[in-house]
Copies of this chain bind each other. A is one copy, B any other.
Amino acid sequence: MARSRTRPPRRELRVGTYARLDRDRVRRIGVPEVILGQGKTVPHLLGILRALAARGEGAIVSRPTRSQLAALRTQRRAGLPIVFRAGDRIVRLRGPLGAEYRPGRVAIVTAGTSDVPAAEEARAVLVELGLRPVLAHDVGVAGLHRLLRAVRTVERYRPEVYLVFAGREGALPTVLAGLVRAPVVGVPTSVGYGRGGRGEAALTAMLQSCAPIAVVNIDAAVPAALFAAQHFLLSAPARRGRRAR
């Protein structure tokens, strides 16, 4: 059974006046809170990570900014137990995240090479949670043979959820959702220029899909990964008891 380390965290952890960490979240919803780096001041982010590290807890930071990354590298040299993932787009504070899942596969499929970095974020989060994604990159829609061959390979692993990354016109999730027996989540990526560029066309096209897909925001690889992870929740203690209610 896949599990991502143990010890569930306590209810609320206050850091300075500026943060109240919701340490009960993983118990309530089955996935840990991922800390959004972007938008936080460097001192705030460091304060949060140090407080967690001091308690031996783990964490995931997404979308760190350049100045945050610089500060984090300094902190790592000073002993903060962090590692960088997905080309520095994900920062992992070592320590238990408290999430446990039954085995099963999430497929991560990308339309083009430019979508790979965003997909790597999702992969890194799933791996940190103890899940094992299956990958197929640069599958395109302008060359159907490429696509069909890649789908056949991925389907061998019988994925239970698909995360499909596409920028530009964002057609891939629609095409894929006509081919596979599992829920497809479209993840538009900020690829493309001109009108509808930076993922806008892809997002809107996915919302208009003639196939039954669900969508997350542009580049929202991490929310997509967490959404996928919830499909593999054990009805472990926290849900065993629910029965009893």
Given A141-B210, A241-B158, answer yes or no on A30-B181 (Cβ-Cβ < 8 Å): yes
CB distance from A114 to the nearest CB of B (A): 4
CB distance from A214 to the nearest CB of B (A): 4
> Are the CB atoms of A178 and B144 closer together than 8 Å?
yes
Encode A190-206 as 1/0 by CB contact (under 8 A) with B.
11111111011111111
**What residues of chain B lie closer than 8 Å to A190, measured between beta carbons?**
194
| CB<8 Å pairs between A and B, sample of 28 | A17-B135, A17-B137, A18-B113, A20-B138, A36-B114, A38-B193, A111-B210, A142-B174, A142-B175, A142-B211, A144-B178, A158-B241, A169-B208, A171-B171, A171-B205, A182-B233, A185-B214, A193-B218, A193-B219, A195-B207, A197-B208, A201-B204, A202-B208, A211-B223, A212-B226, A212-B227, A213-B227, A214-B227
Encode A7-21 as 1/0 by CB contact (under 8 A) with B.
000011000011110
**What residues of chain B lie closer than 8 Å to A74, measured between beta carbons?**
none
CB distance from A41 to the nearest CB of B (A): 6
**What residues of chain B lie closer than 8 Å to A203, measured between beta carbons?**
194-195, 207
Copies of this chain per assembly: 8
> Are the CB atoms of A183 and B230 closer together than 8 Å?
yes
> Are the CB atoms of B20 and A139 closer together than 8 Å?
yes
> Are the CB atoms of B178 and A169 closer together than 8 Å?
no
**What residues of chain B lie closer than 8 Å to A113, measured between beta carbons?**
18-19, 40, 44, 48
> Are the CB atoms of A201 and B208 closer together than 8 Å?
yes
Which of B175, B181, B242 touches A233 (beta carbons < 8 Å)?
B181
Judged by a CB distance under 8 angstroms, whether A5 is at the interface is: no
- Complex CA–CA separation, A168 to B202 (angstroms): 12
**What residues of chain B lie closer than 8 Å to A223, measured between beta carbons?**
209, 211-213
- Complex CA–CA separation, A212 to B169 (angstroms): 12
Judged by a CB distance under 8 angstroms, whether A83 is at the interface is: no
- Complex CA–CA separation, A196 to B239 (angstroms): 35
CB distance from A173 to the nearest CB of B (A): 9
Judged by a CB distance under 8 angstroms, whether A126 is at the interface is: no
Given A41-B87, A113-B40, answer yes or no on A183-B227 (Cβ-Cβ < 8 Å): yes
Which B residue sits closest to A26, measured CB to CB? B181
